[in-house]
Amino acid sequence: MTRVVGPLVLLCAVVAVLFAADNWANSGQVYRGVEVAGVPLGGKTPAEAREAIRDRSSGALSEIRVENPTAGGEDFTFDPQAMGIDYDVEATVDAAYSVGREGGFFERLSDRVETAYGTVEVTPKFDYDPARAEARVAEIANALDSQPVEASVNIVGSAVDTSSSANGYVTDRSATLEAINASVEDMTGVAEVEGEVLRPELTTEEAESAAERARAALDGEVVLTRGEDEWTVSPAAIGDSLAVGTQGGDFRVTLDREALRTNLEEVYASLEQPAVEADFEVNGTEVSVVPSQEGRVIRSEQLMNELERGLFEGRREYAVPVAVQKPELTTEMAERMKPTELLGEYSTNYKSYDDTPGRVENLKIGSSAVNGQLLAPGEVFSFNALASQYDYESGSVIVDGKVDEADGGGLCQVSSTLYMAANFAGLDIVERHPHFAELPYIRPGFDATVWFGSLDMRFQNTTNGYLLIQEEVDTQTGEVYAAIYGVPQDVEVEMNSEKVGEYTDEEGNPITDWITYQTVTRNGQVEYDGPLHEDTYGYLQPADS
């Protein structure tokens, strides 16, 4: 133990002597190795150190300069006093002089060792208002911050123009403030704006490239030919048909097909001719075919594809592709589908019920409305759609179980007669409604009442040919006759109705129930044999009851 303590005491004594000698040797001077903002103060007296600090801070105190990051932009300068910057030279020199002289023995010893073999940087003392600095940074950001400007390509007629792009900028206010703070601490008074350049997606170079593509398409007239016919399309018309868009951060110059189709209206009008469908002329029960005609149509998709490929390559001549347009209903088809055979017919007589002039006139108007109508395969016939277009006389109708007067009285006899003709033709009945009461001009279950806006009589053409509907009124005999013609069907229809119930209501009025039966034989095979529908008929009260 004694062997360790003795040398240690001796060592401490030597260090103390050396430390005291060092203090004596540097008395009145800043220790060597001490710097303030990069200014070496070692070996200087406090007065000399103050002079050095004043020289260094004079530049920082004259102005704070923040370098502009944009090319050609002027730097930003601020008055340090306006930012609340005031260097305390005395306090700074005191801090530098105290290095190695203040603190405990080992702290002072550590400082001396560090100054002897390195550098101790002392932060200058100054007053500084960060809020004022933040305000200056806000001024810088307001001056610099901007969104990037995208380049553009504009086509007007045959002229192509471009506008240039420009970078934008966003200031990093926090980093810029730190840079200014650092320039104050190192007493340089010089900082740089920190931020990010915002680059446009669409650059001037890309716009010029797209413009060149457009100019290639506009380099002269375009000639379209078909046989010996020729049409020219001006560069301005081509320009009106170009569209400039963007995709994936690049420009795309394409052909606006709808616009070009409009600009080629003369070509289309000269070459295209619509097909004419075959038609029918009806003369009584005779039907003749009006022949169809083939048409012409430009292969528009093919033409547009060729133009879009060739225009931007400088190609100026194109042959217009044309195709034959076939009519949907040709003469041959119409001949095969022409109604030639009586499929079903039915007649009723109005004289046994009501032969007043108004009702008879309505019978004639309603029959004329459907007479001569042609029905295509699959089409649904609507009695109301045809008959409701006309004006009618006042006649007897059934309203709420009573006989009344209203315009159109008698139309139910027209619809009922045609309804039965459609049944005997083997057609599908889509809509049918019975009368309120039994009527003398038609068997119960065979009737079909109509009322515009609510009750209709409809059937569908389920044959593979056209149907011709005939209906007329014989004022001499009182007969209302309906017939339906079509292509031969080999269909036979039998119909009958049977009263299945008879009773009275609470007031003692007679009520009857009827079932209508139908048998359909097609191509010699019974297709259906059974009830068609069930109807209940009430008591028809006079109008004044």
Q: Given the DSSP bridges, would you call strands 190-192 and 64-67 parallel, antiparallel or unpaired?
A: parallel
pLDDT at residue 399, as a whole number = 67
Q: Which amino acid is residue 459, in one-letter code? A: F
Structure tokens at 140: 């810088």
Tell whether the model's pLDDT for residue 542 goes beyond 70. no
**Six-digit token string for 381:** 């016939």
Cα(259)–Cα(234) distance, rounded to whole angstroms? 14
Is pLDDT above 90 for 141? yes
What is the reported pLDDT for 340? 95
Domains of the chain: 25-192 (no CATH), 211-244+252-329 (3.10.20.800), 339-537 (no CATH)
Give, in degrees to the nearest 5, the angle at Cα 276 between 274 and 280. 160
Q: What is the DSSP string of 398-430?
A: EETTEEEEEETTTHHHHHHHHHHHHHHTTPEEE
Q: What is the pLDDT of residue 59?
A: 59
pLDDT at 413: 96
Share of the chain above pLDDT 70, in %: 89
Predicted pLDDT at 10: 47
- pLDDT, averaged across the chain: 87
Mean pLDDT of 148-173: 94
d(CA 41, CA 94): 12
Q: Do 337 and 464 contact (CB within 8 A), yes or no?
A: yes
From CA 338, how far away is CA 326, in angstroms rounded? Answer: 19
pLDDT digits (tens, 9 = 90+) for 13-43: 444 444 454 555 456 788 787 877 767 877 7
The DSSP bridge partners found for residue 276 are: 293
Q: Is the pLDDT of residue 537 over 90?
A: yes
DSSP state of 299: -
Alpha carbon of 450 to those of 387, 412, 436, 543: distances in Å? 10, 6, 12, 20
- pLDDT value at position 409? 80
| DSSP character string of 65-116 | EEE--STTPPPEEE-TGGGT-EE-HHHHHHHHHTTTTSS-HHHHHHHHHHHH
- The yes-or-no verdict on residue 305 having pLDDT over 90 is yes
The 10 Å Cβ neighbour count of residue 198 is 15
Query: With the C-alpha atoms ordered 148, 150, 151, 154, is the resulting torsion angle positive or negative?
Result: negative
What pLDDT, on a 0 to 100 scale, did the predictor assign at position 248? 84
Question: In 3D, which of 482, 452, 449, 451 has the Cα closest to residue 467?
Answer: 482
Provide CB contacts within 8 A for 361, sequence distance 6+. 392, 393
pLDDT tens-digit profile of 271-280? 999 999 999 9
Give just the sign of the alpha carbon dihedral 407, 410, 412, 415: negative
**What are the Cα distances from residue 340, in Å, to 253, 284, 368, 469?**
60, 12, 21, 12
Residue 379 in this model has a pLDDT that exceeds 90: yes
Q: How far apart are CA 96 and CA 123, in angstroms?
A: 9
Phi, psi torsion values for 484, nearest 5 degrees: -125, 125
